[in-house]
Structure 1
Amino acid sequence: MAQKPSIPKGTRDFTPQEVAKRNYISDTIKRQFELFGFQPVETPSFENLDTLLGKYGDEGDRLIFKILNSGDYLNKVDEASLKEKDLAKLTPQISEKALRYDLTVPFARYVVMHQNEIDFPFKRYQIQPVWRADRPQKGRFREFFQCDADVVGANSPIQEIELIQLYDAVFTDLGLKQVSIKLNHRKILSGIAEVIGAQDKLIPFTVALDKLDKIGTEGVIKELLANGISAEAVDLAMPLFTIADKNNPFAVLSTFLTDSDIGQEGISELKYITENIEKLGLLSAEVSLDVSLARGLNYYTGAIMEVAAPAGVSMGSIGGGGRYDDLTGIFGMKDLSGVGISFGLDRIYLVLEELGLFPETIDQSVEVLFMNFGEKEVMACLPLIRTLRAQGIKTDLYPTEAKLQKQFKYANNRNIPYVALLGKDELQEQTVVIKNMAKGSQEAYSWKELALFSKEVRSEGQK
């Protein structure tokens, strides 16, 4: 007996209904991307391993899916490395490529390779899948889509303001009210590390801090201590991570970072962004300072942001991003500033599903189904079907001459709003009877009057 097939953990099949809902989200995001002046690009699903390694920190490197070299990949392996089972030495010998971990590093590689074809500043968007060898859990998958928007070649904080407005526009368009956009600045984090005497531990400091919502305060403290940050330094820093609860968080932060030039720079840049966002106003999102926000990826250098779902929804971040002043420098193109954000399509899907925010007709792949009464009737239906399709009405024909009861059941199961009946009598009279499945009413149209019916379908769809 054949073994029942399965799929890898952390991956999913999508039904037609699920694909329709995912397309609704990505189409909404894409529409706003283009309204804000971003252009589409795409990159390969896998990159050279050395393009990706070392760009995300040690933790990120461990989550990269490596691709074994084709053929006898053990043939060129150094015997000593094989016996030692040293992964750091072994991996480059058996793997030269890897599935992309995110869209930002491949985009930086793209910019460097195509710099002579690009007009800077360059605003690009990209909607493609990425892969991470993470532990699967709710809202966390090994294969998932990212929807990114980045601006390179512009170092003005106006770009951060625009990206916050972009977040606000997308989530408002999706009906997601009161999402929380949390802001911080890597220079502020550098200043904190400097003041507590842990500037040489900035990376482990930010990596641990980035896990606050996952492992809690005690877990973060434990990890900080394990990475060689003293208990005194931890005690000095921890009160700052509840700073959002205070009346004037910037004043508290400014006092703490009095002796840190880089920290004061971060405060000044972040205040510029928040004050102007407040002046401009947002449609529905809420913006706040969160000093515990770290965005553990190494390439961020300036303002960072993360979007949380509305209160009451159990979900991690549904978007995030920030400024990276020299990401292309890792590929030899120095001093090109960039800033970008990402939307977590899969998590947004789960949030919309939980809140019941998908339109009722979203999975309506057919608007009119013609019943099948036999070959002569079908041949009369086909020109009418073509007419409706030409007018933008999603129209189909039941493929076989089955019992009408079975055909109606099929239409009900597919939530098809209209059924067209063209039987022996209608063939003789050159008419077609259209039944409204929701109302139970029906009306006859001559073949030449189908344009009137098209208007009815359109008007119903706009309600």
Structure 2
Amino acid sequence: MASKPSIPKGTRDFSPVEVSKRNYIISIMRHHFEKYGYQPIETPSFENSETLMGKYGDEGDRLIFKILNSGDFLDKVSSEELQTINAKQLTGKISEKALRYDLTVPFARYVVQHQSEIEFPFKRYQIQPVWRADRPQKGRFREFYQCDADVVGSTSLWQEVELVQLYDAVFAALGLDGVTIKINNRKILSGIAEVIGASDKLIDFTVALDKLDKIGEDGVKKEMLEKGISEEALIKVQPLFNFEGTIQEKIEKLSTLLSTSEEGKKGIEELSFICENVTKLGLQKAILDLDVTLARGLNYYTGAIFEVAAPKTIAMGSIGGGGRYDDLTGIFGLKNMSGVGISFGLDRIYLVLDELNLFPETVITSTKVMFLNFGESQSFEVMQTVYNLRKNNINVEMYPDATKIDKQFKYAERRKIPFVVKEITDGKFTLKNLVSGKQEMLSFEEMLQVLQ
């Protein structure tokens, strides 16, 4: 007996209802991306390993899914190398490609490869799946969609201001209240590392700090000590763990803390510009907050960094994030090409909307009206009517089999189809509303008017 089929952990099948809800979110994102002037692109599901490796830090590299070479993938490996059981040494010989980890690095590769065809500044959006060899848990999957908006070829901080507005516009359109857009700046983190005497441990410092909401203050301090950051440095960094107040008050505290760091002061200047102008312009639904512990554990960020938190009533990780990268394309040979971008976490946004019952009922309905199957004698007339309704943009279908009428009705009810045509007599259609129970005999034009 064949075993029951299954799918890998961290992946999912999506039902018609789930796909409809996901498409609803994507359609709102796409509408706002294009309203803000972003153009769509797509890149391959997998890239050459050298494109991805080394771009996300050690932790990110470990989460990249490698693809075994086609055919005999051990062909280039000697028996001596096999005996060493050295995974890092073997990986380069048995795997030359990998599934993309995010959309930003492939975007940088795209910009470099197609630079002669692109008009800069280049504003692009991309909605595609990515893969991470992570431990699956609620809201964290191995295969998931990212929805990114980036602009490259401009150093203007107005881009950051606009991206905060874009976040706000999308979440407002989704009816999501209480979303917090957290902002920080990597120059500020570099400045903090400098003033506490840990500049040589900047990556370790930011990676540990970024875990504050997951492992708490004690956990962060323990990790920093393990990475070689001194007790004295931890004493100096202590104020960061209890950094309260308004954005302006926090900026004033940072100005005092970073008074001896030119890099830190530059970060404060950038942060002040973004926060001040976002506040002046106003937001519809979202809340902007300065979070000095926000680090975003990706090596390529150099300026502003963003992370979006779901409403506090929902236990969920971040539902978006991004930041400024001054020279991401430099890793592929194109220097001095600054960019900034944000990403929406489609899967987590879906879970939040579902938990808060924010999906409109109309999202789930696909077919507007179903014709009962009256047998071969009327099938042609039914299909002719179906054809004409479709020409008028009505989602319609005929039940395929001439089976019991009760069975056909139950099918329509389970599918949540709101209207059923019960009968056709002398060019008139008996249309029943399955929601209200109301039944009418109508001409084609009258029926079309009701369905529209």
Check whether TM > 0.5.
yes
Number of the residue aligned with 2:447? 453
The answer (yes or no) to whether the contact 1:257–1:263 under 8 Å persists in 2 is yes
Number of the residue aligned with 1:75? 75
Aligned to 1:184, what secondary structure does the other structure show?
strand
Q: Deviations over 1:150-186 (max 9, x none)?
A: 0000110000000000000000000101200000000
The answer (yes or no) to whether the contact 1:240–1:253 under 8 Å persists in 2 is no
Distance 2:412 2:291 in 1: 51
Number of the residue aligned with 2:15? 15
The answer (yes or no) to whether the contact 1:178–1:285 under 8 Å persists in 2 is yes
Query: Which residue of 434, 438, 454 maps to 2:435?
Result: 438
Distance 1:229 1:262 in 2: 20
Alignment of 1:252-401 (within 5 A): 252-401=253-402
Distance 2:68 2:433 in 1: 57
Distance 2:234 2:87 in 1: 33
Q: Deviations over 1:78-112 (max 9, x none)?
A: 44432222222111011000000000000000000
Number of the residue aligned with 1:57? 57
CA shift at 1:244, angstroms? Answer: 3.5
Distance 1:241 1:264 in 2: 20
Q: Deviations over 1:90-141 (max 9, x none)?
A: 1101100000000000000000000000000000000000000000000000
CA shift at 1:242, angstroms? Answer: 2.5
CA shift at 1:398, angstroms? Answer: 0.3
Structure 2 unaligned blocks of 5 or more: none
The answer (yes or no) to whether the contact 1:323–1:339 under 8 Å persists in 2 is yes
Distance 1:110 1:224 in 2: 36
Aligned to 2:97, what secondary structure does the other structure show?
strand
Aligned to 1:422, what secondary structure does the other structure show?
strand
Q: Deviations over 1:383-410 (max 9, x none)?
A: 1111111111100000011111111111
CA shift at 1:361, angstroms? Answer: 2.0
Number of the residue aligned with 1:45? 45
CA shift at 1:214, angstroms? Answer: 1.4
Distance 1:218 1:452 in 2: 70
Number of the residue aligned with 1:158? 158
Q: CA RMSD in A?
A: 1.0
Q: Deviations over 1:10-59 (max 9, x none)?
A: 00000000000010011110110000010000000000000000000000
Number of the residue aligned with 2:30? 30
Identify which range, 245-254 or 19-28, moves more after superposition: 245-254
Q: Deviations over 1:242-271 (max 9, x none)?
A: 214467111111100000000000000000
Distance 1:378 1:172 in 2: 46
Alignment of 1:95 onto 2:89: no
Aligned to 1:151, what secondary structure does the other structure show?
strand
The answer (yes or no) to whether the contact 1:434–1:445 under 8 Å persists in 2 is yes
Number of the residue aligned with 1:461? none
Give the TM-score taking structure 1 as reference length. Answer: 0.96
The answer (yes or no) to whether the contact 1:147–1:342 under 8 Å persists in 2 is yes
Alignment of 1:201 onto 2:195: no
Give the TM-score taking structure 2 as reference length. Answer: 0.98
The answer (yes or no) to whether the contact 1:300–1:322 under 8 Å persists in 2 is yes
Structure 1 unaligned blocks of 5 or more: 459-463
